Amino acid sequence: KEFGEISLKDIDQVARSSFPLCMRHLFDSLRDDHHLKHGGRMQLGLFLKGVGLKLDDALAFWKAEFSQKVGAERFDKEYAYGIRHNFGKEGKRTDYTPFSCQKIILSTPGVGDHHGCPYRHFSEENLRAALGKMGVSSRELEQVVDKAKGRHYQLACTLTFEAIHGASCDTGINHPNQYFKASQNILKE
Ligand code: SF4
């Protein structure tokens, strides 16, 4: 396995240890609902491509979930295209880049959508619950919630990173894939 590739068997563990909250929320929602709407499929799909999930593994990953909801046949007909498209294998063959924090923060998730930045788009109650699940202690949790309320979303994410990893992140978080890499670097030390 090449450096920076993740395999399907590791994905749940890696999601727990190294995904930022936005991706963790999409990942968990997909595992729970076996479905994600278009905005979520784009945001999570491109992130997973960025962390090194190969096209074949990506197709297997999405199919395993969506099949439980819509059936394998409908997945192949309606959803596989979008995944290949993310990898530049369909349509204009653009190799799409994973979304930055700025782009995610400025997105406008509607009812039933799970994409977006939780520090901006979650209610305070949901944010608190999500941070607790991430393992942020109560004192640090208050600081994160304060930053989010003050609209410093990326700073809130940086504080979460530091709380979970017990290490500082001097550059601050500006991209979900940067969060992932920084986390993996610390965990592999
Ligand atoms: Fe994701 Fe960026 Fe928001 Fe963190 S600040 S949750 S990485 S969009």
pLDDT at residue 118 tops 60: yes
CA distance to 26, 97, 154, 177, per residue, from 100 (Å): 16, 9, 11, 8
- Ligand 1 atom nearest to CA at 120: 3
Encode pLDDT of 70-109 as tens digits: 999 999 999 999 999 999 888 887 778 999 999 999 999 9
Q: What ipTM goes with this model? A: 0.99
Residue with the bigger pLDDT between 5 and 111: it is: 111
Ligand 1 contact, 176 CB (< 6 A): yes
Give residues with Cβ within 8 angstroms of 34, minimum separation 6: 65, 66, 67, 68, 69
φ/ψ of 129, rounded to 5, equals -65, -40
pTM of the predicted model, to two decimals?
Answer: 0.95
Where b means 16+ CB within 10 Å and e means fewer, 39-62 reads: bbbbbbbbbbbbbbbbeebbbebb
Ligand 1 contact, 21 CB (< 6 A): yes
The pLDDT score that the predictor gives to residue 4 is 64
Going by pLDDT thresholds of 50, 70 and 90, the confidence category of residue 55 is very high
| CA 97 / ligand 1 centre spacing (Å) | 16
Supply the residue whose CA is at minimum distance from atom 1 of ligand 1.
Answer: 22
Ligand 1 contact, 99 CB (< 6 A): no
| CA 66 / ligand 1 centre spacing (Å) | 25
Supply the residue whose CA is at minimum distance from atom 8 of ligand 1.
Answer: 101
